[in-house]
Structure 1
Amino acid sequence: MADEQLFLRSKVIVEPLVDRFVAQPHTVAPVPASMNLAFLHLRLLESYLQNPQVHVAASHNPELRGGYFINIPEDRADEVRDLVAAIKRDRADMLRFAEAIAEGQELLRTNATGFDLTPLYPQLPEELSGLVELAYDTDNQAQMRFMEPLLYKSKVYAEDRQSVQLSFETGIERPFILSTPRLPSPDVLDIDVPFRHEGLAELFRTRIRPTSLGHLRDALGLDDLQAKQLSTMLSPEPSLAPDRHIEGGGRIRYFGHACLVLQTPQGSIVTDPFISADSTAGDRYTLDDLPDFIDLVLITHGHQDHIVFETLMQLRGRVGTIVVPRSSRGNLPDPSLALMLGNQGFSVVEVDDFDEIEFPGGKVTATPFLGEHCDLDIRAKSTYWVELAGKKVFVGADSSGIAPALYRHIRNHLGTADYAFLGMECDGASLIWLYQSLITRPMTRKMSSSRKLSGSNAEQAAAIMTELGATEAYVYAMGEEDWLGHVMATTYTEDTYQIKQIEEFLTWCADRNIKAGHLFKQQEWRW
């Protein structure tokens, strides 16, 4: 079998890990990763060790779905204890850096009163020296600006944190990624290589182009046992869908959540790729349905359900460029998506509002994105306007209609959309749910709850459509697909507020003869 030409089996999944937690932007980019490790994950692990039964029971309580509880059986508590010890020993630089950030923030709160900031530099913790700039905004509010490119070259960014686990899709929901680390298991293959390792690109290219087990073993540096495990994940036959390409016109396919695949015979685009590997389910498009080469991957923003490392990693070697919105350069909650993905081995281009990128058979224009980030100063977010095969498509993601005039400006600049794809998670989680590790000053629950990760409600979505003048409107599923639970952890019923708002919006569209729908699992448009 060592020389036989083989393909990666369709149902193989990968979970990229950092210190055993599933990789997502807040665990990869150096500044939030340090704070997430120190102020969330380490404390969570220590809480679990104090009372494992409480964590396990809470993890299985449907009413607490998406809560910060560790779903690991009590009889594996010693492994969690070993993980805590390893983090404290091996990540001391990161933990100290996080503490230094908190100390620096307090220094500014106490001493930055509108006067010269120069005397504060010597008072900063040593760990921040040369890595931050102190600056006021025009209201005399001081902040630290991080020299993020330098941090990727420092001890704060440690590639030996990174590894991957390969296993088979079982259809059983995996534990919530923000809270439960992935421990070793006999039924998974652990490979201790950084995400940018070329061997991983070689492995995932075998979904479309075969290679030998011997080649993969050498490329990944596997031992005998690992090679044996990998052999079970390979097949002599590909599982690629015969209709993954088109010969004429244009096509859009909905792959679930916020993921669209837009194609012409000349080129293809994927938005926010979050794609199932379960090709036997029969009710969805999967990795098997992707075109062999993807010209552009469009990332709308940096939340864990839009930058999905387990899907992105499997596209290494078959993507031309990943397009990301430009960040604010060094702002604490707004890490550079370009730096983050570039350091994982991807070719990345940053765009600002109304920047244009051409691809074979079409053009993409970045457009503004409003709201959804709990009123934090996060600028790495973009919607997109895609022109292909004579159609114009507005990819709205979770952008809100809080200022409808914005979409009038988009229409004036780019014309009328044929299709608009919108997000309507209009009662999202509170600020603390996602950003708690970055908040270094106590915040009241009432304040946090007033600032949410929310897209448009019915009125705001209707305002977007009124201003865009689009002829068709489609609402993304809000984590409703069953293969997204380990990331989304959402639960809806027909009486849930968000669902009622979508129904109200669809009624509004029907009353105006606008073709509309609430997307779920898969759908296709052809012209």
Structure 2
Amino acid sequence: MTGAGTGAGCFLRGDVEVEPLVDRWYAWVHLVSPATAAFVVVERHLRMMESYVRSPAMHAAAAANPATRSGPFLDLGGTRVAEVAALLDATRAMARRRQEFVSAFAELDKLLENTTGNALEPLYPDVPAALRGLVELEYDRHNRARCRLYERLLYADALADPSGQCLRLARSDRDGDRPFAFSTPRLPTAEGEPGEAAVEVTVPFATPALDTLFRARTEPVDPSALAEELGLDADTRPRFHELFTSTPPRTPADGKGSPAGRGTIRVTYFGHACVLFEDDVSILVDPVIAYDHASDVPRFSFADLPDRIDYVLITHAHHDHVLPETLLQIRHKVGTVIVPGNDGGGLMDPSLRLVVEHLGFPDVREVRELDVVPLPHGAITAVPFVGEHHDLAIRSKSTYHIRLGGRTVLIGADTANVNPALYDRVHDLLGDIDLLFLGMECEGAPASWVYGPYFAHPLDRDHDRSRRGRASTSAEALDVVERFGGSEVYVYAMGEEPWLYPLLGIPYTTESLALQEAERLVKTCHAQGRHAERLYGAKRWSWS
């Protein structure tokens, strides 16, 4: 039987895509964290919907243009204006607490701008009501007044109401069909529209029953019992059953689940910045996993993950490196999530630990520069992450040095090596590296692309464009390679895979600077006698 799953021994199909939503918008870190979510909704979502209702044709044209697709344009083809207007009205009504919070920040900014260096204690009664008890007032070393958020308290505030959270499940036969993730709300589908078979599971992300749902990718379940557990109504259940099949999932590639063997490390590249290392332990870095769609692009999917992931490493809070869509689907098999910590309380730098805990992970560990996590036959060391964050005070970022069985790896993520002297000091402590993974998307988006809603005043256009969130150029990357003596060099995290297009929307061509710089690095490494390649899609190899 290969049709809809109706019995107790059914599996969630490999082509079922899962979109976590918050108030009908695609969920990412800054929409899960309560403070940033308030600013995203008020300063971005409301403004985009207002603009669409005024000028739907302009949005349709911009969304159809690859150069502007990832901008603030709703990708609805200029249609469904009445539905967007209704969502706009509903969002305004639901967002009153968020609007109060954002307005209070502006008031507090004015209050603190007028300080002259005197004691701040007398100002606490003047803190806007929406922020009272949620902020601490302080001076920096330049005698500038600022506030620090008590971020954990925000998760107990109405700002963190989980009632708007849900998951949208739908079958798809190819990558990239979805609109750009961060500029188009997911409107309910009507009969006859694309995606009409989608199922929305309206439960908070931390709901334990979701583990049963996603475990069903590899273990059989009874869809009827699961529908009951998830609280699906009678009208939804037939469509929910269509997401299941009695046919077991495909055979995993290359011996998934079997030990790599003592002294042998198995490395699996899942695309973009997602890499799995396995020996006595399994370590998955920046999980973004493809679905089982037919494609010319090689891929590994959820079926190729091990049954147990001992550690998930997150390098930073950008949406192509920490993705709730993937994290929720692997939660049931993860031991510990390791995230970069921060000093806490910065609006633009939400705590990754709190976000991941809010996603239902019970064991989340923060690390800071040069913290060490011991392994049975090695260690994970947090290494400073240079650049890529628009010169903002973002502390929730870390690259990682991994030592397994006497071999060493540096996971460089989107490092822009603008401070080579730092790596002199890191090399003094850690020594040479056998294998390096380096991102080289060296053009990058301007600062406002991610952080625009949080600036008290809009950035000057020239300043915005000069402060790009970029990774290393070929010269900067080569400096890292030569400094650490890497014998194997892999360029990754380029956002080329088709399943990254709804997240990044990068319109690469053969003329793109990032691809040219990556090719330059690979050729230079070859000339030096090093193994080097630009990864794409999927790759698995053993390392001993």
Query: Does the pair score TM above 0.5?
Result: yes
User: What TM-score, normalized to structure 2?
Assistant: 0.93
The partner residue of 2:28 within 9, 24, 44 is 24
Q: Contact conserved, 1:404 with 1:467, CA < 8 A, in 2?
A: no
Q: Contact conserved, 2:36 with 2:347, CA < 8 A, in 1?
A: yes
Residues 137-187 of structure 1: per-residue CA shift (max 9 Å, x gap): 101122210000000000111101211100113315211111111111222
Which residue in 2 is equivalent to 1:143? 146
Indicate how the Cα distance of structure 1 residues 522 and 379 shifts in structure 2: closer, same or farther if over 3 A, else same: same
Which residue in 2 is equivalent to 1:467? 483
The partner residue of 1:371 within 380, 383, 387 is 387
Paired AA for residue 115 in structure 2? A
CA–CA distance in 2 between the matches of 1:81 and 1:362?
A: 56
Paired AA for residue 245 in structure 1? G
The secondary structure found in structure 2 opposite 1:434 is helix
The secondary structure found in structure 1 opposite 2:158 is coil
The partner residue of 2:291 within 270, 277, 280 is 277
CA–CA distance in 2 between the matches of 1:172 and 1:205?
A: 22
The secondary structure found in structure 2 opposite 1:379 is coil
Tell me by how many angstroms 1:322 deviates: 1.0
Q: Contact conserved, 2:42 with 2:95, CA < 8 A, in 1?
A: no
CA–CA distance in 2 between the matches of 1:123 and 1:207?
A: 54
> How is 1:401-420 mapped onto 2 (pairs within 5 angstroms)?
401-420=417-436
Which residue in 1 is equivalent to 2:159? 156
Which residue in 2 is equivalent to 1:232? 242
Tell me by how many angstroms 1:85 deviates: 1.2
Q: Which stretch of the first structure deviates more once superposed, 234-243 or 393-402? A: 234-243
CA–CA distance in 2 between the matches of 1:169 and 1:363?
A: 40
Q: Which stretch of the first structure deviates more once superposed, 279-288 or 388-397? A: 279-288
The partner residue of 2:209 within 189, 195, 199 is 199
> How is 1:314-463 mapped onto 2 (pairs within 5 angstroms)?
314-346=329-361, 347-359=363-375, 361-463=377-479
The secondary structure found in structure 2 opposite 1:317 is helix
Q: Contact conserved, 2:384 with 2:399, CA < 8 A, in 1?
A: yes
The partner residue of 1:124 within 108, 122, 127 is 127
> How is 1:207-286 mapped onto 2 (pairs within 5 angstroms)?
207-239=217-249, 240-241=251-252, 243-247=255-259, 248=261, 249-264=264-279, 266-281=280-295, 283-286=298-301
Paired AA for residue 333 in structure 1? M
Residues 224-280 of structure 1: per-residue CA shift (max 9 Å, x gap): 22221121111223315152234322111111110001111x321111011101253
Tell me by how many angstroms 1:287 deviates: 1.3
Q: Contact conserved, 1:246 with 1:263, CA < 8 A, in 2?
A: no
Residues 383-441 of structure 1: per-residue CA shift (max 9 Å, x gap): 01112233211111011211112223222222321100011111111111111100111
Paired AA for residue 82 in structure 1? A
2:75 is the alignment partner of 1:64? no
Q: Contact conserved, 1:169 with 1:277, CA < 8 A, in 2?
A: no
CA–CA distance in 2 between the matches of 1:122 and 1:448?
A: 36
User: What TM-score, normalized to structure 1?
Assistant: 0.96
Indicate how the Cα distance of structure 1 residues 115 and 507 shifts in structure 2: closer, same or farther if over 3 A, else same: farther
CA–CA distance in 2 between the matches of 1:11 and 1:358?
A: 37
Cα-Cα RMSD: 1.6
Paired AA for residue 76 in structure 1? R
Paired AA for residue 465 in structure 1? V
Which residue in 1 is equivalent to 2:512? 496
Paired AA for residue 358 in structure 2? N
Tell me by how many angstroms 1:75 deviates: 3.5
Paired AA for residue 191 in structure 1? V
Which residue in 2 is equivalent to 1:97? 101
CA–CA distance in 2 between the matches of 1:492 and 1:3?
A: 45
Tell me by how many angstroms 1:83 deviates: 1.0
The secondary structure found in structure 1 opposite 2:379 is strand
Q: Percent identity?
A: 40
Tell me by how many angstroms 1:2 deviates: 5.5
Paired AA for residue 389 in structure 1? G
CA–CA distance in 1 between the matches of 2:41 and 2:116?
A: 31
Tell me by how many angstroms 1:125 deviates: 1.0
Paired AA for residue 439 in structure 2? G
Tell me by how many angstroms 1:309 deviates: 1.1
Q: Which stretch of the first structure deviates more once superposed, 373-382 or 361-370? A: 361-370
The secondary structure found in structure 1 opposite 2:369 is coil
Q: Which structure 2 segments of 5+ residues have no match?
A: 190-195
CA–CA distance in 2 between the matches of 1:385 and 1:202?
A: 34
Q: Which structure 1 segments of 5+ residues have no match?
A: none
